[in-house]
Amino acid sequence: MGKRKWGDRRDGKLIRDIDAMHYIMPLMYPNRCDNEAFMSMRINIEKTEEYIRNKNKESDVKIGIFEIIIAAVLKTIKLRPHMNRFIANNTMYQRNELTAAFTVKKNFRDDGEETLARVVAEDKDTLETINKKVVDQIEFCKNFEDDSTKAMNFIKHLPGKHFIGWLARLLDKHGLMPKSVIATDPYQCSVVLTNLGSIGMNIGYHHLMNWGTNSVFVVIGKKKKKPHFDADGNMTMRREISLSMTIDERLSDGFYYARTLKLLKKLIENPELLEGPLDEEVNY
């Protein structure tokens, strides 16, 4: 991780060689929710689903499209480091960890309890190890209470909620929130994912939060058969999944984001590329 320098935060390093425009933008536009860029794309999953079927025949540890997308998103962020930046207190930082978060519903009822899952990725993680981390997190969340939920349940019984809220926002602004409170807080992670397709919903826009440091939100929609037209106008039906992504546009520029989406699409459509470590380069 390297030695912490003056100006660094506990969760990120100050970006000291930033260009003038990206230095000024947080000063002019200080709120994350005022700087959202929304993008969506359709991904061909015919090869992906074949890969999943073959993999699941070979192993007792099952893998699904959700785990492949999580691994692909993490590898994309690893290879596209601007996507792992965040802005806090009008200043841009490079995040120290690579983390993905998602919500787990303990049972599918209107009043079913939700809990928070967090996966910490390492440079040498592969699809196999990411899959295990996700499966272990889901199993843990369905049977136990995560640390952030425990902290929130304690805080809600304290008096002076407005003072607590003010203090929490102040500590959050300077990266000083106690680790126990934000241990599994999704809005302190590199990326938050939600799988709406698992409950039969299509993709949609999801906002970012001014709280925390999260700068990327990914929504996964339903798998569907959709028409595809080639260069000659011939139509075929193919299996696709839709993804939408909301990002803090102050992190980089449109060209960088376009190449990021291109890489993400390639990884999901060719999941064998995820069998190598996250930091292994990919041509795209």
Checking phi first, is residue 217 left (phi over 0); if not, alpha (psi -120 to 50) or beta? Answer: beta
Mean pLDDT throughout 182-193? Answer: 90
Contacts of 74 (CB under 8 A, 6+ apart): 98, 100, 119, 121, 125, 130, 190, 191, 278
Task: Tell me the domains of the chain and their CATH numbers.
Answer: 12-144+184-274 (3.30.559.10)
Mean pLDDT throughout 1-5? Answer: 75
Least confidently predicted of 30-44, 85-99, 156-170: 156-170
The yes-or-no verdict on residue 188 having pLDDT over 60 is yes
Are 205 and 246 spatial neighbours (Cβ–Cβ below 8 Å)?
Answer: yes
- 66-122: pLDDT as tens digits: 999 999 999 999 999 999 999 999 999 999 999 999 988 766 666 666 778 899 999
Mean pLDDT throughout 256-263? Answer: 96
**Structure token digits, residue 276:** 């190598």
- 232-252: pLDDT as tens digits: 888 989 999 999 999 999 999
- Coil/strand/helix, residue 11: coil
Contacts of 171 (CB under 8 A, 6+ apart): 177, 178
Specify the pLDDT at position 111.
62
Checking phi first, is residue 138 left (phi over 0); if not, alpha (psi -120 to 50) or beta? Answer: alpha
- 6-15: pLDDT as tens digits: 999 999 999 9
pTM for the complete prediction?
A: 0.91
- Cα 22 from chain centre: 22
Distances (CA, A) of 272 to 24, 50, 187: 41, 11, 30
Choose among 110, 92, 127: nearest CA to 17.
Answer: 92
Q: Would you give the DSSP letter of residue 163?
A: H
Mean pLDDT throughout 145-158? Answer: 77
Query: What are the residues facing 100 on neighbouring strands?
Result: 119, 191
Mean pLDDT throughout 147-161? Answer: 80
The yes-or-no verdict on residue 1 having pLDDT over 60 is no
Spatial separation of the C-alpha atoms in residues 235 and 27, rounded to whole Å: 49
- What would the DSSP string read from start to end of 185-196? -GGGSSEEEEEG
Burial of 205 per CB tally in 10 Å (0-12, 13-18, 19+) = exposed
Average predicted confidence (pLDDT) for the chain: 91
- 194-233: pLDDT as tens digits: 999 888 888 888 999 999 999 999 999 999 998 888 888 8
